[in-house]
């Protein structure tokens, strides 16, 4: 297991790759590889967006699309080698074939030597128009457990997980130094400008609130570009980007817009301790009074 340098190094340099799908797995991976190697030597951690090497295939249901997970073992080898070449901790998001007929939306974290530091399987699975993920993904069974790496304990969660404060809080209670959310979220063409604004603001607010409530820095990485629903049923999705990195008080440290971009930022991990001393939310939790949170609804 990787040993954390958290106690001896107060800050880390991180990058988040926000990009479009290039039309094929090969071309998209070529772009990722180019960017990771370009950033090598200047950053210690690189985080990639959700399902970064394919189109967002969950816009419709097709058994043929399970074939995309057949490359999972090859992907592990590919990104292991890339992490080792670049000498970075690499956070990836892959379509995992766990067994015949059993699939997950899985974040795999690689150490700088190419070894696997840990995995997180997406827990909250959406099933909404254009986001039919329940058809493809089994809910995760690894729990909310930070992944120990050489740059600290990473609280890696995936996309829909970002709307649930419980997930971020459990990661914080288990000692996460940094929250990371690979994401694929966007608008449909029929959304009004007002609705687009509301959705984007809500997406940013909920995650910045996790930073505030837990005094943790956070990386949210979204994709960009319009992707057609090739079934012809849906409208397609315009992925809105706006990836960002926030500090321990929810402040924006770096933010992209709706174009392709690689965010680079330095994060001071020691600020968590400083912020928790002035905002001692963990101290004041009334844990004996929260039993109702385990119910679906309090009728």
d(CA 141, CA 248): 28
Bridge pairing between strands 11-18 and 45-48: parallel
What are the DSSP calls for 211-280, one per residue? HHHHT--EEEE--EEEE--TTSSS--EEEE---EEE-TTS-EEEE--SS-EEEEEEEETTHHHHHHHHS-
The answer to whether residues 150 and 269 touch, using CB atoms and an 8 Å cutoff, is no
d(CA 177, CA 98): 29
Paired strand residues for 43: 40
d(CA 170, CA 110): 22
79, containing H or E segment: helix 72-86
d(CA 53, CA 197): 28
Q: What amino acid positions are annotated as catalytic residues?
A: 50, 122, 159
d(CA 146, CA 36): 23
The answer to whether residues 111 and 118 touch, using CB atoms and an 8 Å cutoff, is no
């Amino acid at each position: 297991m990787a040993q954390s340098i958290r106690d001896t190094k107060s800050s880390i340099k991180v990058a988040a790759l926000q990009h479009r799908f290039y039309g094929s797995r090969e071309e998209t991976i070529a772009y990722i590889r180019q960017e990771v190697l370009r950033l090598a030597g200047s950053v210690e951690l690189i985080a990639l967006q959700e399902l970064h090497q394919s189109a967002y295939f969950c816009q419709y249901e097709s058994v043929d699309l399970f074939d995309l997970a057949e490359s999972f073992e090859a992907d592990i080898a590919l990104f292991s080698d890339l992490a080792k070449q670049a000498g970075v901790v690499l956070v990836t998001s892959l379509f995992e074939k766990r067994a015949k007929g059993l699939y997950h939306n899985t974040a795999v974290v690689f150490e700088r030597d190419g070894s696997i530091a840990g995995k997180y399987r997406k827990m909250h699975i959406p099933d909404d128009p254009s986001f039919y993920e329940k058809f493809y993904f089994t809910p995760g069974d690894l729990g909310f457990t930070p992944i120990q790496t050489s740059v600290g304990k990473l609280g890696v969660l995936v996309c829909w997980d970002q709307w649930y404060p419980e997930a971020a809080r459990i990661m914080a209670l288990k000692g996460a130094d940094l929250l990371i959310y690979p994401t694929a979220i966007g608008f449909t063409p029929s959304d009004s400008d007002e609705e687009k604004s509301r959705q984007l603001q809500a997406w940013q607010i909920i995650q910045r609130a996790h930073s505030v409530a837990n005094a943790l820095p956070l990386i949210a990485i979204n994709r960009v570009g319009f992707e057609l629903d090739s079934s012809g049923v849906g409208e397609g999705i315009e992925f809105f980007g706006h990836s960002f990195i926030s500090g321990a008080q929810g402040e924006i440290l770096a933010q992209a817009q709706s174009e392709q971009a690689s965010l680079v930022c330095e994060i001071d991990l020691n600020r968590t301790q400083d912020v928790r001393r002035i905002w001692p939310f963990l101290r004041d939790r009334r844990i004996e009074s929260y039993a109702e949170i385990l119910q679906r609804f309090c009728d």
